[in-house]
Chain A
Amino acid sequence: MASTTTTPSSTVDSPGRSAGLGARIHDTLHDKATLGPAIVLLIALIGFSVFTDRFLAANNLSLVLQQVMVVGTLGIAQTLIILTAGIDLSVGAIMVLSSIVMAKLSADSGVPGVLALLIGLGVGTLCGLVNGILVSRVRLPPFIVTLGTLSIFTALNLYYSQSETIRGTDMSDVLLYTGETFAIGDTRIAYGVLLMLGLFAIVSYSLRATAWGRHVYATGDDREAARLAGVQTTRVLLSVYVVAGLLCAVAGWILIGRIASASPQAGGSANLDSITAVVIGGTSLFGGRGFVVGTLFGALIVGVLRNGLALAGVDVLWQDFAVGFLVLTAVAIDQWIRKVKT
């Protein structure tokens, strides 16, 4: 998957561009935005497998994937929103609220597992709809909207759950399914990981190969230009927030499987982690540029980094330090890539 060839033969053949090494790297990264994160991930994988022998062990890698599956799924939602030049501070809150609704309906109200799951997904979608209406129709800035709904969804969550954790043993197996694993050789893969990868594939396809995807990019690039070109930007924005809400709810389902319970206090850092994954994945915070696959790399980079540093016995605070450093580097590189010679 991670192609290491840096020969930009297929990308640079236009005259008028200087052929210096820097310019060639620039052009390549400009055309293939996921290459950077892929290379970083590869370096991290090679680096840690050299320094710690436990890192490459099958069960460790499957652990990394399980640690990544929640933030990765949230990252898909966050990528969609950031592609439209927005930001969503409420993804974590939607995720937790949805997971609590699913768990509580199943554990306390005796609702069948599948139905509880569907209602939970519906609640997440509804949360996305609220964000979407406020952003696309009332035209409030996404930062403000989701800052507000972050508090509202969190409050609703605490009210409904009464701040109590719901144990996995009390709820339907359907809700815990995402945490179940199956074996490929020595490696155990959680179904939640498969679900996450499937969602990445679907969203990646939709962005790349459908008109809706092109419209998401055009709207994020320049909303007014897109509108004048005949894109129904209000509808596009609304659809992005609704889909994001649904994805957050799916992340909520995966979260239940991951921690084998539903806790109103879970996922506290999930908001920022999802933004981190998107940014490291090379998606521009200014909208219109980036790929959802980059976010998968971004989430994996953070997961690998934390896991590898932990195995190497590095203190958590230095893990945070490293992640912060990565974010700043990613944004700096993005700024450089966005520069276009005219």
Chain B
Amino acid sequence: MSAVAHAPAVTPILEAKGLVKRFGNVTALDGTDFELMPGEILAVIGDNGAGKSSLIKCLSGAQIPDAGQIRMNGEDVAIRSPLEARGFGIETVYQTLAVSPALDIADNLYLGRELRKPGFQGKVLRRLDKKAMRDESKAQMSELGIMTIQKIEQQVESLSGGQRQGVAVARAAAFGSKVVILDEPTAALGVKESGKVLELIQKVRENGLPVILISHNMPQVFEVADRIHIQRLGRRVAVVDPKERTPTEVVAIMTGAAPAT
């Protein structure tokens, strides 16, 4: 059924078998398989309605699949909410919903896992340790080379699109211990800003974290991906090596113009 390049000899870090997701009469996922290997950038491509977003939402806990299994390091897991996905070390950057604009950079990085002050202030008054969060955020941002931002107390809405995406990627890289998922991270960005984000993605991989990259942009996919997962009509039709295939061939498989062999 599906042609898989590099038959997995090592255990995939994240794996799905026969995922099904229906919305009323619409079948978004029709038994999709999926594998992410350690340390790789896996691009997920597909036409509109192929089920890319649904697949990613099932892996990140934003949606619950109707059927199928998800495994991490070979063990069955149930991911029922974004919070649970986090618990498994999966961090996701969503296309349009990456950050909360009215909060500052540090607040965004630590949203949902804020640090409290030690002792009485933290335990009884539940006071946040803003200084620690800001210092850590600063360190994280500079490590990824995005400290062009002047102030960590700056509201995210005052940043450019690329910088915002940078904040979101930094959050994922800082807290993702197993997998980082990026859903169309460059869709709303200009050429120069996209380049920055791609650099970031490669940095994340260099730090040893595998990345799932959902993208429409073929040149970008071919630039950074180690393998390409091609999704069509709710199923995985092929996984190809970008070094062995041309973008034209990949698009042909994606649209169904060519068989997936």
Contact = CB atoms under 8 A, between A and B. Distances in A.
B184 to A, nearest CB: 14
A226 B151 contact: no
Contacts of A210: 125-128
Contacts of B62: 228
A214 B126 CA distance: 12
A14 interface: yes
Contacts of A229: 82, 99-100, 108, 111-112
Given A228-B92, A342-B160, A211 B97 contact: no
Contacts of B157: 340
A221 B92 contact: no
Tell me if B's interface is mostly helix, strand, loop or mixed. Answer: loop
A24 to B, nearest CB: 14
Contact of A230 (B101, B112, B154): B112
Contacts of B60: 228
Interface residues of B, number: 34
A119 B160 CA distance: 52
Contacts of A217: 100, 102-103
| Range of interface residues on A (Cβ < 8 Å) | 20 to 34
A332 interface: no
A211 B125 CA distance: 11
Contacts of B108: 229
B107 interface: yes
A314 B43 CA distance: 70
A9 to B, nearest CB: 14
21 contacts: A14-B150, A15-B150, A205-B125, A209-B127, A209-B128, A210-B125, A210-B126, A210-B127, A211-B128, A214-B103, A214-B114, A218-B100, A221-B100, A224-B97, A225-B97, A225-B98, A228-B92, A230-B83, A230-B113, A232-B83, A340-B157
Interface of A: 13-15, 30-31, 205, 209-212, 214-215, 217-218, 221-222, 224-232, 288-289, 340-342
